Amino acid sequence: MPMLTVDHPKGALSRDQKDQLAEELTHVLLEIEGGQDTPGGRSIAWVRFKEMDDDDWFIGGRSDDTHVAEAGKFLVELNVPEGSMNQERKSLAKRVIADAILKATGFENIKGAARSIWVQIFEWPEGHMGTSGNTASLFGIVRIAGLPEDSPILDFSRSYFDAKKRLFDQNDFPEGAAGRALVPYRESGRSNS
């Protein structure tokens, strides 16, 4: 269940720009989930816009646009499940998010226009998110999104959780410790937990 929150100054985006940007950012989230544009995948791809008053947002000690690039000031928080993205995918997500904002604001071909668009990626630990009163996990989310369990996009996640399980086991972390893969996944034809 990746989620994007876009902080922006009040009035910086019109309704049409938000609609366009929300659809483009939803595609970014669907890619993070494995590229499955399914009703299940869309149901867990959230984009939120938060308007802020200019006098509450300072850059370089000023609330005006003195230190703001052409596209405007945007702070994007991307929240993803732990172990869902390697560094290459994180870098790609940041680039695609900035490009979508540049396109929506009409500044895609201006060098330096994205300098005031910051993207932060936060990973919530396995077991720290939930819906419907139940704990959600990365591999549970994968199932909701409709991604096949043998998808190569999950290779990093499997390796990540396998390494983390070995680390936890070697250091006697209790079985119920947050951070272990909570939902079994398939690897080489066998089920793991």
Please give the pLDDT value at position 46: 92
CATH of domain 3-124: 3.30.429.10
CB proximity list for 175: less than 8 A, separation 6 or greater: none
Q: What are 114's two structure tokens? A: 């994205």
Per-residue pLDDT of 66-121, as tens digits, reads: 999 999 999 999 999 999 899 999 999 999 999 999 999 999 999 999 999 999 99
Long-range contacts of 56-64 (CB under 8 A, 24+ apart): 57/7, 57/9, 59/116
State residue 136's pLDDT score: 82
pLDDT at residue 65 above 80? yes
Q: What is the pTM of this model?
A: 0.87
142-186 pLDDT, tens digit each: 888 888 878 888 899 989 988 988 999 999 998 878 777 776 554
pLDDT of residue 30: 85
Phi, psi of 77 (to 5 degrees): -110, 120
